[in-house]
Amino acid sequence: MKLEAVYGLHAVTTLLQRNPEQVIELWIMQGRHDARMQRVLELAQEQQLDVREADKGLMNQKADEGNHQGVIAWRKPVQHKTEKHLPDILDAISGTPLILILDGVTDPHNLGACLRTADAAGVQLVIAPKDKSAPLNATAAKVACGAAEAVPYIQVTNLARTMKDLQQRGIWIVGTAGEAEHSIYQQDMKGPMALVMGAEGSGMRRLTREHCDYLVNIPMAGEVSSVNVSVATGICLFEAVRQRAG
């Protein structure tokens, strides 16, 4: 059985807290014994996990880009939730739905950052099309800092059809587009809502745009015409959080 690597202090800590039964073995980089690593070791000891010290070179080989922060958890392959689980996830949402849709976000780093922001904003579900979307791999999970364990990420075959299903549930679809006439600050975001973020540069695809109930923009004051998709996601989601809190 081929094991999956989860690396990074936040990602491994969250995994040990939420799903420790998945972990088979823990690798710790030789010579790292600081307070943050001590917390990881305490969690591993509570679960009676095998802990192995490994040299930095070996760990760099096993982790994408070598950015493991001195810890790798090896776990059994996880069956991530799929499109067939979507109705149950939607049925289980408590409170006012706040959903994030990523249309064409292909960089795992951006996906991880969007998941981290979504978790911080209280998003209950992240949806993306199966084609031209980043997979939830080890890089995305590491950047997400544990949010990949907390927020369901569902890739769907037909995004337009899924958006229709959300609308039939009373969830309004708000898409972001630079040419939109109204800004995110003029949009009522207090009700059940799915926010659609498009790819940097090209934005949302035409069919996705056509299935939105509203289109909004983020006002830009400087010379730069756009911001990174994860930054834009944070701006929009926390405007929804601000409105709902008020």
Which residue ranges make up the annotated binding site?
198, 218
CA dist., res. 197 & res. 127, Å (int): 11
Residue 96 burial (10 A CB sphere; 0-12, 13-18, 19+):
middle
Q: Which two tokens stand for residue 157?
A: 């075959």
Phi and psi based region of residue 82 (left: phi greater than 0; alpha: psi -120 to 50; beta: remaining): beta
Beta-carbon neighbour count of residue 26 at 10 Å? Answer: 22
Q: Quickly list DSSP for 36-75.
A: HHHHHHHHHHHTT-EEEEE-HHHHHHHSGGG--TTEEEEE
Of 155, 164, 149, the residue nearest 86 (C-alpha): 155
Q: Which residues are annotated as a binding site for S-adenosyl-L-methionine?
A: 198, 218
Of the chain, the end-to-end C-alpha distance in Å amounts to 51
